[in-house]
Each structure stands twice: as C-alpha cells, then as structure tokens.
Amino acid sequence: MNKKPLIFFVCVLILGAVASAAYWLHYGHTTSPESEPEEGEELINEHSTNSVIYFEDEVPPADSTMVGKWLSVDKPGWHKVYYDDYDGEGRYWGKEWDETEDVQEEDLSYHGNGWFRWEKHKDTLREFSTMDFRDVPIAHTYMVTVVDSCNITLAEKNKRSTYHFTKD
C-alpha cells in the first residue's frame, strides 16, 4: 500500500480537529463565566441609575492667569498662547509665532515647530520647545515678574532680556 495518501489523510484529519477546537474555543463561548451568576448567587449592579458616582479628575489645573493668547509689547507680531491642555506629564501645551518673520499661526504643525510644553511653579516659568521631526525638548526658563489678567512680564533666568506681553 502507498504511504503518501495515508499520511496526507491523517494530516488533514489532524488539521481539521485543530481548526474545530480553535473555532469552538474562540466562538463557542457566548458568555463568560464572570457575567453569569452562579446558582443561588445574586447579580449586583454596581453602577445603578439612581446612585451617584464620583470620578476623581487627575488633571491638575493650569495657572488661569497664564492661560490665553498674548501679544508682545516690545516686538509686535510675536504671539504666545498658553493652553490649559494637559500633556499627561505634568505640563501644558502652548505655542508661539512671530508674524514679523512671516510665520502665521496657521503655519504651525500640530505639536511641532512653534509649540512648547509649559509649567509654572511659583514665579518660575519653564517652556520646553518641540520640533516637527523629533521630540527633543529645548528648555527656556523665565522669572515671571508681572502676571495679571492683562499683562505678563517674563525675565530670562540670566536676566539678560525681559519680555512684556498683553492679552490679545
């Protein structure tokens, strides 16, 4: 007797059995054991319509006096926008552009060149610039000397330059 057809037939049977078992394991269980209560066990709805559920918001609030669109007093055309959009790592998003350098807000790619992450602790503001091609943050540290609902004055950490902005 020829052995090749017999080996082929046995392989087809084994493959059919494996495929049937895989189908049964994947599609044969319509409900999971956890969703069905055991006999005599009561199913408890933990999220009832009549109950109140409180979820803790883990996003710390941004400094509301910083949030907004600002225009430079000394260099008209230079805009900075501080958002309260949390980045998930303790900072918030912001962006800046200078229209005197022929850069418009629409020219900025989302979270690319012109964008930065910012954080403010007491009187220290740190901005971490981003780039289109790589997320290599470049830090800029400022001392916030004036901040109110209409004005911000930022002094570079080395006190070489001071920048004045008004609410735009």
Q: What would the two tokens of residue 75 be?
A: 């260099």
| All structural domains of the chain with their residue ranges | 68-167
Binning the chain into helix, strand and coil, the percentages to the nearest 5 are 20, 35, 50
Q: In the structure, what pLDDT confidence band is assigned to residue 129 with cuts at 50, 70 and 90?
A: very high
- Global pTM reads 0.64
> How far, in Å, CA of 96 to CA of 114, rounded?
5
pLDDT in tens, 136-151: 778 899 999 998 989 9
pLDDT in tens, 41-68: 666 666 556 556 555 567 788 899 999 9
